[in-house]
């Protein structure tokens, strides 16, 4: 069953965020656009490259009204230790949620049960708490923050402009489409 347009399930967790431990629930994600970015584990290899890439573009996400939440099945204590010891992870200003029970990871259907870790899952959630984008990649394939930014911009555009859709490779400011009988077979 697809998670697209489904409402995020209730959860309660602790995140490491700007030097503090803070509570995060599903309500924290509502009222704004959110990216929930699952990754397998702290102190690994591909994960810090992805999280660092997000950190490098975090101000752009924030300027668009988007909060990023990184999630792994590590604890919030482990997130702090990683933040304190890695130059790349030390750049992170977005919340890093600890999910040691795997409840959130299972809610989003990205738990690798045999390993107790998350797949590389990316979820874009609208202000109503509904999932608008789902992307899951294999463990060895890192994600790109600029491509995620493009997709979030498209999701925001479509939400703000009912009746319009964004074609492949759409970038902000480019033409969109208005699906109609007149377009059938013309694209």
CA–CA distance, 124 with 28 (Å, rounded to integer):
14
How many beta carbons lie within 10 A of that of residue 18, not counting itself? 11
Pair of tokens at residue 155 = 């999701």
47 is catalytic: yes
CA atoms within 13 A on the CB side of 88: 13
**DSSP character string of the chain:** ---TTPBPPP-EEEEEETTEEEEEEHHHHTTSEEEEEE-S-SS-SHHHHHHHHHHHHHHHHHHTTEEEEEEESS-HHHHHHHHHH-TTGGG--S-EEE-TT-HHHHHTT-EETTTTEE-EEEEEE-TTSBEEEEEEE-TT----HHHHHHHHHHHHHHHHSTT-B--TT--TTS--B---GGGTTT-
Instruction: Please identify which of the residues 3, 8, 47, 148 carries the catalytic annotation.
Output: 47
Q: Could you list the active site residues?
A: 47
């Amino acid at each position: 069953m697809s998670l697209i347009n489904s409402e995020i399930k209730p959860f309660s967790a602790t995140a490491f965020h700007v030097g503090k431990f803070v509570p995060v629930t599903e309500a924290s994600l509502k009222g704004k656009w959110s990216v929930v970015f699952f990754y397998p584990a702290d102190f690994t290899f591909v994960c810090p490259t992805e999280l660092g890439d997000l950190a490098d573009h975090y101000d752009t996400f924030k300027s668009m009204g988007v909060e990023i939440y990184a999630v792994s099945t590590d604890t919030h204590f482990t997130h702090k230790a990683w933040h304190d010891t890695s130059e790349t992870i030390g750049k992170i200003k977005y919340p890093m949620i600890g999910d040691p029970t795997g409840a959130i990871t299972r809610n989003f259907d990205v738990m690798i049960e045999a390993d107790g870790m998350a797949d590389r899952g990316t979820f874009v959630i609208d202000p109503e708490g509904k999932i608008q984008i789902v992307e899951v990649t294999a463990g060895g394939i890192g994600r790109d923050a600029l491509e995620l930014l493009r997709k979030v911009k498209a999701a925001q555009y479509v939400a703000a402009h009912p009746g319009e859709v964004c074609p492949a490779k759409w970038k902000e400011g480019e033409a969109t489409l208005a699906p109609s009988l007149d377009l059938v077979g013309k694209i």
